[in-house]
Chains A and B, each alone.
Chain A
Amino acid sequence: NAGVTQTPKFQVLKTGQSMTLQCAQDMNHEYMSWYRQDPGMGLRLIHYSVGAGITDQGEVPNGYNVSRSTTEDFPLRLLSAAPSQTSVYFCASSTLGEIGEQFFGPGTRLTVL
Protein backbone atom coordinates (compact mmCIF):
# COMPACT_ATOMS: atom_id res chain seq x y z
CA ASN A 1 0.00 0.00 0.00
CA ALA A 2 1.33 3.43 -0.95
CA GLY A 3 -1.18 5.08 1.40
CA VAL A 4 -1.93 8.69 0.51
CA THR A 5 0.23 10.22 -2.20
CA GLN A 6 0.42 13.86 -3.23
CA THR A 7 2.06 15.55 -6.18
CA PRO A 8 3.91 17.78 -6.60
CA LYS A 9 5.93 18.16 -3.39
CA PHE A 10 6.85 21.75 -4.17
CA GLN A 11 5.37 24.32 -6.53
CA VAL A 12 5.94 27.99 -7.25
CA LEU A 13 3.22 29.93 -9.07
CA LYS A 14 2.75 33.47 -10.19
CA THR A 15 -0.33 35.40 -9.14
CA GLY A 16 -3.24 34.55 -11.41
CA GLN A 17 -1.95 31.18 -12.56
CA SER A 18 -4.04 28.07 -12.08
CA MET A 19 -2.94 24.60 -11.10
CA THR A 20 -4.14 21.29 -9.73
CA LEU A 21 -2.73 19.53 -6.68
CA GLN A 22 -3.09 15.80 -7.03
CA CYS A 23 -4.07 13.40 -4.25
CA ALA A 24 -4.59 9.66 -4.47
CA GLN A 25 -5.15 6.87 -1.95
CA ASP A 26 -5.14 3.12 -2.39
CA MET A 27 -6.91 2.14 0.84
CA ASN A 28 -10.45 2.27 -0.58
CA HIS A 29 -11.33 5.07 1.86
CA GLU A 30 -14.64 6.82 1.32
CA TYR A 31 -13.66 10.03 3.12
CA MET A 32 -11.06 12.36 1.66
CA SER A 33 -10.18 15.90 2.62
CA TRP A 34 -7.87 18.81 1.87
CA TYR A 35 -6.31 21.00 4.54
CA ARG A 36 -3.98 23.93 4.45
CA GLN A 37 -1.41 24.48 7.16
CA ASP A 38 -0.24 27.98 8.03
CA PRO A 39 2.07 29.00 10.89
CA GLY A 40 0.19 29.56 14.15
CA MET A 41 -3.14 28.54 12.59
CA GLY A 42 -3.03 24.78 12.63
CA LEU A 43 -4.79 22.89 9.88
CA ARG A 44 -7.87 24.34 8.27
CA LEU A 45 -10.26 22.26 6.22
CA ILE A 46 -10.71 23.43 2.62
CA HIS A 47 -13.00 20.81 1.07
CA TYR A 48 -13.96 17.24 1.82
CA SER A 49 -15.72 14.32 0.19
CA VAL A 50 -17.64 11.39 1.64
CA GLY A 51 -17.57 9.36 -1.57
CA ALA A 52 -17.29 9.50 -5.34
CA GLY A 53 -19.47 12.25 -6.75
CA ILE A 54 -20.01 13.95 -3.36
CA THR A 55 -18.04 16.97 -2.18
CA ASP A 56 -18.65 19.70 0.36
CA GLN A 57 -17.02 22.88 1.59
CA GLY A 58 -14.90 23.13 4.68
CA GLU A 59 -13.79 26.14 6.65
CA VAL A 60 -11.81 27.97 3.94
CA PRO A 61 -13.13 26.94 0.49
CA ASN A 62 -12.85 30.25 -1.40
CA GLY A 63 -10.46 30.12 -4.34
CA TYR A 64 -10.41 26.31 -4.48
CA ASN A 65 -12.41 23.70 -6.38
CA VAL A 66 -12.53 19.94 -5.94
CA SER A 67 -14.09 16.97 -7.68
CA ARG A 68 -14.31 13.29 -6.80
CA SER A 69 -14.90 11.21 -9.90
CA THR A 70 -13.33 8.07 -8.40
CA THR A 71 -12.86 6.71 -4.89
CA GLU A 72 -9.08 6.92 -5.25
CA ASP A 73 -8.52 10.49 -6.47
CA PHE A 74 -9.37 13.87 -4.99
CA PRO A 75 -7.66 16.74 -6.87
CA LEU A 76 -7.64 20.30 -5.56
CA ARG A 77 -7.74 23.09 -8.13
CA LEU A 78 -6.55 26.63 -7.58
CA LEU A 79 -8.45 28.73 -10.07
CA SER A 80 -6.43 31.94 -9.96
CA ALA A 81 -3.59 31.76 -7.47
CA ALA A 82 -3.10 34.55 -4.95
CA PRO A 83 -0.22 35.18 -2.50
CA SER A 84 -2.65 34.43 0.35
CA GLN A 85 -2.74 30.84 -0.91
CA THR A 86 0.94 30.34 -0.12
CA SER A 87 0.80 27.44 2.30
CA VAL A 88 1.45 23.76 2.82
CA TYR A 89 -1.42 21.63 1.56
CA PHE A 90 -2.27 18.22 2.99
CA CYS A 91 -4.61 15.61 1.64
CA ALA A 92 -6.01 13.00 4.02
CA SER A 93 -8.31 10.00 3.85
CA SER A 94 -10.18 7.71 6.20
CA THR A 95 -13.07 5.32 6.35
CA LEU A 96 -16.44 6.96 6.99
CA GLY A 97 -16.72 5.22 10.31
CA GLU A 98 -13.32 6.39 11.53
CA ILE A 99 -13.14 10.05 10.51
CA GLY A 100 -10.79 10.72 13.41
CA GLU A 101 -8.19 8.29 12.13
CA GLN A 102 -7.15 10.17 9.05
CA PHE A 103 -4.14 9.14 7.01
CA PHE A 104 -2.20 12.10 5.71
CA GLY A 105 -0.15 12.55 2.59
CA PRO A 106 3.33 14.11 2.76
CA GLY A 107 2.10 17.56 1.73
CA THR A 108 2.62 20.04 -1.10
CA ARG A 109 4.47 23.26 -0.33
CA LEU A 110 3.02 25.99 -2.55
CA THR A 111 4.44 29.48 -2.98
CA VAL A 112 2.52 32.12 -4.90
CA LEU A 113 4.58 35.12 -5.95
Chain B
Amino acid sequence: GEDVEQSLFLSVREGDSSVINCTYTDSSSTYLYWYKQEPGAGLQLLTYIFSNMDMKQDQRLTVLLNKKDKHLSLRIADTQTGDSAIYFCAESVNTGTASKLTFGTGTRLQVTL
Protein backbone atom coordinates (compact mmCIF):
# COMPACT_ATOMS: atom_id res chain seq x y z
CA GLY B 1 0.00 0.00 0.00
CA GLU B 2 1.01 3.61 -0.48
CA ASP B 3 -1.00 5.40 2.22
CA VAL B 4 0.65 8.38 3.84
CA GLU B 5 -1.17 9.73 6.86
CA GLN B 6 -0.96 12.96 8.81
CA SER B 7 -3.07 14.71 11.40
CA LEU B 8 -5.12 17.48 9.82
CA PHE B 9 -4.49 20.40 12.14
CA LEU B 10 -1.93 21.76 14.58
CA SER B 11 -2.02 25.03 16.51
CA VAL B 12 1.05 26.46 18.26
CA ARG B 13 2.00 29.76 19.82
CA GLU B 14 4.60 31.95 18.23
CA GLY B 15 8.06 31.10 19.55
CA ASP B 16 7.15 27.53 20.51
CA SER B 17 8.31 24.46 18.60
CA SER B 18 5.97 22.70 16.18
CA VAL B 19 6.10 18.98 15.52
CA ILE B 20 4.24 17.62 12.50
CA ASN B 21 3.99 13.85 12.23
CA CYS B 22 3.55 11.49 9.31
CA THR B 23 3.27 7.74 8.88
CA TYR B 24 3.88 5.96 5.63
CA THR B 25 3.53 2.38 4.47
CA ASP B 26 5.99 1.76 1.63
CA SER B 27 9.20 0.51 3.25
CA SER B 28 11.05 0.69 -0.08
CA SER B 29 10.91 4.49 -0.22
CA THR B 30 14.37 5.88 -0.85
CA TYR B 31 13.61 9.46 0.07
CA LEU B 32 10.96 11.12 2.18
CA TYR B 33 10.00 14.73 1.71
CA TRP B 34 8.34 17.66 3.40
CA TYR B 35 6.52 20.22 1.28
CA LYS B 36 4.98 23.54 2.37
CA GLN B 37 1.89 25.11 0.83
CA GLU B 38 1.13 28.73 1.61
CA PRO B 39 -2.41 30.05 1.07
CA GLY B 40 -3.40 30.26 -2.59
CA ALA B 41 -0.11 28.84 -3.83
CA GLY B 42 1.38 25.61 -5.06
CA LEU B 43 3.60 23.37 -2.97
CA GLN B 44 7.28 24.06 -2.40
CA LEU B 45 9.86 21.52 -1.32
CA LEU B 46 11.00 22.33 2.21
CA THR B 47 13.41 19.54 3.00
CA TYR B 48 13.96 15.82 2.49
CA ILE B 49 15.72 12.91 4.14
CA PHE B 50 17.40 9.88 2.69
CA SER B 51 15.97 6.64 4.04
CA ASN B 52 19.24 5.48 5.59
CA MET B 53 19.39 8.58 7.82
CA ASP B 54 17.75 9.02 11.21
CA MET B 55 17.89 12.78 11.40
CA LYS B 56 18.52 15.81 9.27
CA GLN B 57 18.82 19.37 10.51
CA ASP B 58 18.46 22.45 8.34
CA GLN B 59 18.43 25.73 10.28
CA ARG B 60 15.10 25.77 12.21
CA LEU B 61 13.95 22.51 10.66
CA THR B 62 14.70 19.04 12.04
CA VAL B 63 13.50 15.92 10.27
CA LEU B 64 13.40 12.66 12.23
CA LEU B 65 12.91 9.30 10.56
CA ASN B 66 12.03 6.07 12.34
CA LYS B 67 12.21 3.55 9.56
CA LYS B 68 11.20 0.62 11.76
CA ASP B 69 7.90 2.30 12.65
CA LYS B 70 7.61 4.07 9.25
CA HIS B 71 7.27 7.38 11.08
CA LEU B 72 8.52 10.74 9.87
CA SER B 73 8.36 14.03 11.73
CA LEU B 74 9.16 17.65 11.03
CA ARG B 75 10.11 19.91 13.90
CA ILE B 76 10.09 23.66 13.40
CA ALA B 77 11.96 25.52 16.12
CA ASP B 78 10.92 29.03 17.20
CA THR B 79 7.75 28.90 15.07
CA GLN B 80 6.84 32.21 13.44
CA THR B 81 3.56 33.49 11.98
CA GLY B 82 5.13 33.10 8.54
CA ASP B 83 5.27 29.37 9.16
CA SER B 84 1.47 29.19 9.04
CA ALA B 85 0.77 26.92 6.07
CA ILE B 86 -0.19 23.38 5.14
CA TYR B 87 2.67 20.88 5.42
CA PHE B 88 2.68 17.71 3.36
CA CYS B 89 4.93 14.71 3.78
CA ALA B 90 5.56 12.62 0.69
CA GLU B 91 7.31 9.41 -0.19
CA SER B 92 8.91 8.48 -3.46
CA VAL B 93 7.55 5.19 -4.79
CA ASN B 94 9.11 3.31 -7.67
CA THR B 95 6.36 2.06 -9.99
CA GLY B 96 8.67 0.28 -12.38
CA THR B 97 8.28 2.74 -15.24
CA ALA B 98 9.09 5.78 -13.15
CA SER B 99 9.10 6.97 -9.58
CA LYS B 100 6.17 8.98 -8.36
CA LEU B 101 5.40 10.93 -5.22
CA THR B 102 2.64 9.90 -2.86
CA PHE B 103 1.52 12.77 -0.66
CA GLY B 104 -0.05 12.72 2.76
CA THR B 105 -3.30 14.48 3.56
CA GLY B 106 -1.48 17.59 4.79
CA THR B 107 -1.32 19.22 8.23
CA ARG B 108 -2.54 22.77 8.57
CA LEU B 109 -0.26 24.63 10.98
CA GLN B 110 -1.77 27.66 12.66
CA VAL B 111 0.57 29.95 14.57
CA THR B 112 -1.05 32.17 17.17
CA LEU B 113 0.36 35.24 18.90
A residues neighboring B (CB under 8 Å): 4, 31, 33, 35, 40-45, 48, 50, 56, 58, 90, 92, 96, 99-102, 104-107
Per the CB 8 Å criterion, the residue count for chain B at the interface is 25
A96, closest chain B residue (CB): B98
Q: Is the CB of A40 within 8 A of B100?
A: no
Question: What are 6 inter-chain pairs, A to B, with CB distance below 8 A?
Answer: A44-B103, A58-B100, A90-B42, A92-B43, A99-B98, A99-B101
User: For chain A, what secondary structure do more than half of its interface residues adopt (helix, strand, loop), or is it mixed?
Assistant: strand
Which residues does chain B contribute within 8 Å of A105, judged by CB atoms? 42
Q: Is the interface of B mostly helix, strand, loop or mixed?
A: strand
Are B88 and A99 touching (Cβ within 8 A)?
A: no
Are A42 and B45 in touch, CB under 8 angstroms? no
Partner of B90, one of A33, A96, A100: A100
* A104, B44: Cβ atoms closer than 8 Å: yes
B88 touches A102 (CB 8 A): no
Query: Is B43's CB under 8 angstroms from A99's CB?
Result: no
**Contact B92–A50 (Cβ < 8 Å):** no
Given contacts A42-B106, A106-B42, contact A50 B101 (CB under 8 A): no
Contact across chains for B4 and A102 when beta carbons are under 8 A apart:
no
Chain B residue numbers with a CB within 8 Å of A48 are 98, 100
Q: Is the CB of B101 within 8 A of A56?
A: no
What 1/0 flags go to B89-109 for Cβ under 8 Å of A?
Answer: 010100001111111111000
* Distance, CA A90 to CA B4, complexed state (A): 19
User: In the complex, which residues 1-57 of chain B have their Cβ closer than 8 Å to any Cβ of chain A?
Assistant: 4, 6, 8, 31, 33, 40-45, 48
Cα–Cα, bound, A99→B45 (Å):
11
Contacts of B99 in A (CB 8 A): 99-100
Q: Which residues of chain B from 57 to 107 have any CB-CB distance to chain A below 8 Å in the complex?
A: 88, 90, 92, 97-106
**A41, A90, A99 interface centre (most CB from chain B within 10 Å):** A99
A100's contact among B40, B92, B98, by CB below 8 Å, is which?
A: B92
The interface centre, meaning the residue of B42, B98, B100, B102 with most chain A CB atoms within 10 A of its CB, is B42
